[in-house]
Amino acid sequence: MSLKESLERFKKQQEKCQTTLSSIASTKAAAAPRPAPAAARAPPPAVKFSNDTERLQHINSIRKGPVGAQIKRVIDLLLETRQAFTPEQINEACYVDANANKAVFDSLRNNPKVYYDGRRFSYKSKHNVTDKNQLRSLIRKYPEGIAVIDLKDAYPNVMDDLQALKAAGDIWLLSNFDSQEDIAYPNDPRLPAMNVDDELKVLFRSIELPRDMIDIEKELQKNGIKPATDTAKRRALAQSQGIPNKAKPKKKKHEISKRTKLTNAHLPELFSRP
């Protein structure tokens, strides 16, 4: 076979193979599912930023804030929890980084409301009492009285214990008119009794009290005593709720009857002759 005939034969084989491949490709294309139109495709998910961004901004604003504001956050944490915290634990709890801010660290260490043991910070109250018995013993050491404001932060339920001691008659709670603050006084039977002069007793008992409770409260305030009641507020509240005030008893009018003896002794001019 000549070279020319061989080339012709090869070309025919190539054409036949190309026709076969084209037929196979068209068959596969017809069997394959058509892609959905672009309008029916689901939109791509929106790009979401980190959920931590807002928290990081809040932390940054705290740490760049005034030293006094950061100290207050720490003291509030120590007061509410009554626990000891390391600087790292404080940073985790309220985002105040005392290790990175020397001014904050030194202010905490020297604050009178904070106790630092060399490793941890804790709340430091003015009086170191932790229960009702210790509170009673402390008040008995102050016969001249101790300000309640100095006891409020001793421990969480100290105010409830003060009221319990008052109800039991162990202490007195009186108000200071100048400062409008309550003072706790001991009511200890072991203390020496006070003798009151008889003339002072007579003078005290001879004072006539006002008939209206509002006037009594005003007189107490004038003398530097905080009234335990607020009659004006109570009456206004009762009136707003539609509760009628207690009516004062009316005096009975004397009616004239046949048995009534009429006299005009108080009008002598009626019987005087001209």
Looking up residue 180, the CATH number of its domain turns out to be 1.10.10
Label residues 81-116 b or e (16+ Cβ within 10 Å = b): eeeebebeebbeebbbbbeebeebbebbeebeebee
The answer to whether position 30 is within a domain reads no
> Does 71 share its domain with 102?
yes
> Does residue 62 belong to any structural domain of this protein?
yes
**Along the 274 residues of the chain, how does pLDDT read in single tens digits?**
566 676 677 777 777 777 776 777 666 666 656 655 555 566 666 555 556 788 899 999 999 999 999 999 999 999 999 999 999 999 999 999 999 999 999 999 999 999 999 999 999 999 999 999 999 999 999 998 999 999 999 999 999 999 999 999 999 998 765 556 789 999 977 766 667 788 988 888 888 878 888 888 888 888 878 777 888 888 888 888 777 666 555 555 555 554 544 444 444 444 444 4
Residue 153 covered by a domain: yes
**Is residue 171 domain-resident?**
yes
Domain coverage including residue 227: 198-236
For 172, the 3-state DSSP assignment is: strand
How far, in whole angstroms, is CA 29 from its chain's centroid?
A: 74
Domain identity same for 68 and 108 = yes
Do 106 and 138 reside in the same domain of the chain? no
Burial of 216 (0-12, 13-18, 19+ CB in 10 A): middle
116 plus 76 within the same structural domain: yes
CA 128 to CA 146: how far, in whole Å? Answer: 14
Burial class (CB in 10 A: 0-12, 13-18, 19+), 151: buried
Considering the domain architecture, whether residues 141 and 180 belong to the same structural domain is answered as: yes
Residue type, 262: L
- Do residues 58 and 94 share a domain? yes
What tokens were used for 233?
């507020």
- On whether residue 65 sits in a domain, the answer given is yes
Are residue 171 and residue 206 in the same domain, yes or no?
Answer: no
Residue 118 lies in a domain: yes
Instruction: Report if residue 102 sits inside a domain.
Output: yes
Quote the number of domains for the chain.
Answer: 3
Residues 136 and 119 in one domain: no
Task: Answer whether residue 31 is part of any domain.
Answer: no
Q: For residue range 172-208, what is the model confidence (pLDDT) as tens digits?
A: 998 765 556 789 999 977 766 667 788 988 888 888 8
User: Is 135 within 8 Å of 162 (Cβ atoms)?
Assistant: yes
Question: How many other C-beta atoms can be found within 10 angstroms of the C-beta atom of residue 70?
Answer: 24
pTM attached to this predicted model: 0.52
The owner of tokens 């607020």 is 230
- Domain end, chosen from 70, 92, 123, is at 123
Residues 153-173 have pLDDT tens digits of: 999 999 999 999 999 999 999
